[in-house]
Amino acid sequence: MKSPFYTAEHDAFRHVMRRFVEKEIAPFAHDWDEAGEFPRVLYRKAAEIGLLGLGFPEEYGGIAADQFMKIVASQELARAGAGGVSASLMSHTIGSPPIARAARPEVKARVLPQVLAGEKISALAITEPGGGSDVANLRTRARRDGDHYVVSGEKTFITSGMRADYLTVAVRTGGEGAGGVSLLLIEGDTPGLSRTKLKKMGWWASDTATLHFDDCRVPAENLIGEEGQGFKIIMRNFNSERMGMAAGCTGFARVCLDEAIAYAKERKTFGKPLAQHQVIRHKIVDMAQKVAASQAMLEMLAWRSEQGESPVAEICMMKNQATQTMAFCASEAVQIFGGAGFMRGIKAERIYREVKVNAIGGGTEEIMKDLASRQMGL
């Protein structure tokens, strides 16, 4: 359907993305999931079509892009039904914005071109084993020692944590609370940094790790922004992350809908196609209704963001809306597939395993509700 939000430029990029996903990701998604990783060369291929540079400064190899171009990217990636690939391939979209926004010019010039060219991998490291989303009370400490910081502590559930070359790490440089939090760029080969791979319910192709910092010496020039300003930078990062997650979740929900429709037309039970059973038709309509509502909410918030607004409450609600839509559609798709939906190898089964991480990552449903209610003055 025609939309007032998408131009010919958006449509052209969608075509490029679709060909890329159909050629470079979809045929291999199942094997990569079973292997627990995807080839590092995929980053370079993604960079070649401009995917990695979207929204980053052109002087470092980025490409000017509005919110709708980013929605196109997220939702076309979702067509492969491989959330683990999307998560790690695009981990720089949460790891590198703080660098582009607040790092020293020489650090930007050294790091960003390599990341946006697909030569290096960027990741964000905030969550800690004992803290979850409680960023203001993180414990990983960075002590100033001359022209270095000495970092000690742990981070966990870090996407691209095993092979990231650049880690944007939240550390405590000051006292308790949000005002004591800073951001440091820590390079992957820093002595004292070790990593432990984590096994997960879903996102198998995405490497996820616990990071251990044992008196890592980090050059003071790698401080991102000013000391004590890290919390503000992190919070600004969250809006973009949640919009991206909402776009992806709505895309995954649509994949489940499309797969369910195709299967319902082919599969015959009791002498007729599944699609001719009223209960199945009703399930599909319920799925379509939720996908359409989520997409409409997503696009309106993207438009508002383009107008300079920062609708934090609505973005939090949008993330919940999208993850709930994904959960509903994945469950109904597997139900429509029946026994076949319980077998590994189809997109709906893979997406079903990946539902919960989206409702947790970037802030749990409960945190989203609390943030939204606070923004509403409650």
What is the distance between the alpha carbons of residues 39 and 72, in angstroms, rounded to a whole number? 23
Q: Is 57 within 8 Å of 96 (Cβ atoms)?
A: no
Crossing angle (nearest 10°) for helices 230-266 and 67-78: 50
What is the distance between the alpha carbons of residues 271 and 18, in angstroms, rounded to a whole number? 36
CA-based R_g, the chain, Å: 21
Q: Is 201 within 8 Å of 350 (Cβ atoms)?
A: no
Contacts of 133 (CB under 8 A, 6+ apart): 127, 363, 364, 367
Please report, as a single letter, which amino acid is at residue 212: H
Residue 241 a catalytic site member: yes
Q: Which of 153, 274, 281, 169 is nearest to 223 (CA)?
A: 169
What Å distances lie between residue 299 and 7, 41, 227, 352, CA to CA? 14, 32, 36, 24
Which position among 24, 128, 154, 241 bears the catalytic label?
241
Q: Is 32 within 8 Å of 205 (Cβ atoms)?
A: yes
Give the sign of the dihedral formed by CA 169, CA 58, CA 302, CA 78. negative
Query: Greatest CA separation found in the chain?
Result: 79
The catalytic residues are 241
